[in-house]
Structure 1
Amino acid sequence: MTTVTPAAPRPGTLPLADLRAMFRRVPGHIDAATSGLPLTATADALRSALDAWTAGEATPATYDVSVAASRAAYARVAGVDVTRVAIGAQTSPLVGLVAAAVPDGGRVVVAEDDFTSVTYPFLAHADRGVTVRAVPVGHLAEAAADGCDVVATSLVQSRDGRVADVGAVRAAAARVGAVSLVDVTQAAGWLPLVPAPADHADVTVCSAYKWLCAPRGTAFATTTPAAAARLRPLAANWYAGDDPWASVYGTDMRLASDGRRFDTSPAWLSWVGAAPALDAFARVDVAAVHAHDVGLADDLRGRLGLDPAGSAIVSLADDDGSVRARLDAAGLRVAGRGGGVRLAFHVWNDSDDVDRVVAALDAA
């Protein structure tokens, strides 16, 4: 299989206005935390790939160009060398690599009410005596310092947008010899990841279909060399081979020596759509994206009498479902999460979306 490493444009060379122009405007879609919108280039690439498939012109080597481009672009987003990046389809199997490496009777610390793709893989090892302690996200470092084998958290909490202090978490984990794992799914695309948290966690995982606007079925892991040495490639397969096309038969397993050893075979069409999206987010000035997204979110908070939170996600209490009902009736795309309503502002949103939310709530 041909491995193509495209040129790596410097991050920050794509103006925010140009990135915004790559999306078709969908008024009232305030739900990037559930699923991002596709770039027009992503939709075009998928249509072209379907046409090529229909004509019998699609080949694995052609698809691998998109996989390689996506891997290289994500490495720039995460601020790591491309050799440290593994691809997958979802985050939970990638978290599962770390969970399987916890010793019998080991101890794991997780954030309370974190997304279950981070917590369930560890809970599934209870039969080996693995215990999982859930603590408030602000107390992760303190809990890790008490002793554990792994401390795992989302950088940005899916439920309410709180941002974890992953630097403190990794420092505490290092002091007790634990592995730190950070899920950046709800952060990558709006929260700058360079130089952290890639440098602030032994393992990071990310599903790219939310804020990075790739199709579902595209996910990544990054590992430090020391962490990679502790992980077993549980899904060892031909695509993870040192030479993939020499790894399709037999028992002579020769896996890649770098992050590719943890690859799973890609769902081809998803990666065709991912390549242009990830390239755009690798080139954009992410600080400008952060200012735009958080600016809209904090504007809404202020107009609702809430304090700013520095997150692109806004969570509103909604015990009886009436808030969600009013927003739905106003034609706004939002999500119900954890007994509240979650709004997630991204690059396609503007002040009109904030006005519509306020008007819908004021009308009550």
Structure 2
Amino acid sequence: MTLIPLAEAQAAFPAGRGYLAACTLGLPTTDTSNALRADLDAWSSAGVDAAEYGTLVERVRESYSRLARMPSRNVAIGSQTSAMVSIVAASAPDGAEILCVEGDFSSLVAPFLLQAHRGVRVRHAPLEELAEHIDRSTWLVAYSVVQSATGAVADADAIRAAASANGALTLCDLTQAAGWLPVDAARDDITVCHAYKWLCAPRGVAFLTARDGVIDRLRPVQAGWYSGGDVWSSCYGPALHLAEDASRFDVSPAWQAWVGAEPAIDLFARVDGRAVHAHTTGLAARMMAGLGLPSPTNEVLRSAIVTWPDTDGRDLRALRAAGITASGRAGRARVGFHLWNADEDVSSALAALGRQAG
């Protein structure tokens, strides 16, 4: 498939200047907005068909499989990352040990904590030391490849290598990465991703991937009619008709959200991911220079998200007063740079903070 150039992908967004919050909520492309309006019109005029929605969902699954570099048979669809992580948590053996990152997003941690009644134990380690804490007692290491609170990028290669050496599974959350950081889901045993941030889909569109050999180790505890091998012919009891591939973990999709997701996921599956990464991390590096923050020398660890201490919220208020949309997390101000952003967004943000671009 021929990749589209960066400029074409940027032109898909009608607005975005001053919006530095893709790490909180992505913006819709023109095609996503048009698709949602057209679907509402069709629904209002009794012009929709459930089977056609199902076909659309399969097209989105295929697009995500290309983006994540994972065969579609290994991709499950869902609505939230926490619900998909719960499948993994319910599959942990009694007494299993789970290793998590200190301060990681709760959707990746809480489902495991709630298995304590079965003796499942959760350990936490700093992101930069995570690989060193993996040992033979670790059943699974769960980590976000990009941290929500800090924007820090994990040394995923080191984590995967340590997990493999110790016979542990890896569960990687791609939510804060997919869309600006090229991802390869096949390199982890399991991944989850909610698409409403950097992939710019409506909220309620999420994905889980599982390697061959791992699918049968997970329990489809949320199985329903959409988990069958043929959802339109296996949707009645009393027998259980689970799909043989990862779609056994599917949950019934909120169709309207997937209508908006189709053009968004297709766009990110076709754009040159390396160009997106260079664009977004380049803007972030300029922001960091203006704030006097050190930038990682290792290109692999460079992030599109910039955070800094702001315990009293003063900097966040200054950004908002200047008409800039940003966010605050864990006592830190947070900005993220995506396709619609440009150098002027960096200059405006630094000016609002009383700084100058380097």
**Does structure 2 conserve the Cα–Cα contact (< 8 Å) formed by 1:43 and 1:273?**
yes
**Does structure 2 conserve the Cα–Cα contact (< 8 Å) formed by 1:39 and 1:277?**
yes
Structure 1 unaligned spans of 5+: 1-9
Structure-2 residue corresponding to 1:5: none
TM-score norm. by structure 1 comes to: 0.94
Q: Which runs of at least 4 in structure 1 moved beyond 4 Å after TM superposition? A: none
Give the superposition deviation at 1:98.
0.9
Residue identity opposite 2:307 in structure 1:
S
Secondary structure at the counterpart of residue 142 of structure 2: strand
- State which drifts further: 331-340 or 162-171: 162-171
Structure-2 residue corresponding to 1:280: 267
Structure 2 unaligned spans of 5+: 297-301
Superposition pairs for residues 243-322 of structure 1, below 5 Å? Answer: 243-309=230-296, 310-322=302-314
Give the superposition deviation at 1:167.
2.1
Select the residue among 350, 353, 356 that pairs with 1:358.
Answer: 350
**Does structure 1 conserve the Cα–Cα contact (< 8 Å) formed by 2:291 and 2:355?**
no
**Does structure 1 conserve the Cα–Cα contact (< 8 Å) formed by 2:189 and 2:211?**
yes
Count of residue pairs brought into register by the alignment? 351
Distance in 2 separating the partners of 1:252 and 1:170: 39
Distance in 1 separating the partners of 2:290 and 2:55: 47
**Does structure 2 conserve the Cα–Cα contact (< 8 Å) formed by 1:313 and 1:343?**
yes
Superposition pairs for residues 324-335 of structure 1, below 5 Å? Answer: 324-335=316-327
Secondary structure at the counterpart of residue 186 of structure 2: helix
- For the pair 1:203 / 2:193, whether they are aligned, the reply is no
Structure-2 residue corresponding to 1:49: 39
Distance in 1 separating the partners of 2:286 and 2:56: 38
Select the residue among 14, 20, 24 that pairs with 1:30.
Answer: 20
**Does structure 1 conserve the Cα–Cα contact (< 8 Å) formed by 2:39 and 2:256?**
yes
Percent of aligned pairs with the same residue? 49
Deviations 1:312-352 (A, max 9, x none): 00002102111111111111100010101010100001111
Distance in 1 separating the partners of 2:336 and 2:292: 18
Deviations 1:150-176 (A, max 9, x none): 110001001111111222222222222
**Does structure 1 conserve the Cα–Cα contact (< 8 Å) formed by 2:290 and 2:355?**
no
Secondary structure at the counterpart of residue 181 of structure 2: coil
- For the pair 1:20 / 2:7, whether they are aligned, the reply is no
RMSD across aligned C-alpha pairs, in angstroms?
1.3
Secondary structure at the counterpart of residue 306 of structure 2: strand
TM-score norm. by structure 2 comes to: 0.96
**Does structure 1 conserve the Cα–Cα contact (< 8 Å) formed by 2:78 and 2:206?**
yes
Residue identity opposite 2:311 in structure 1:
D
Select the residue among 57, 71, 75 that pairs with 1:67.
Answer: 57
Distance in 1 separating the partners of 2:295 and 2:159: 24
Give the superposition deviation at 1:145.
2.3
- For the pair 1:348 / 2:350, whether they are aligned, the reply is no
Give the superposition deviation at 1:289.
0.4
Residue identity opposite 1:346 in structure 2:
H
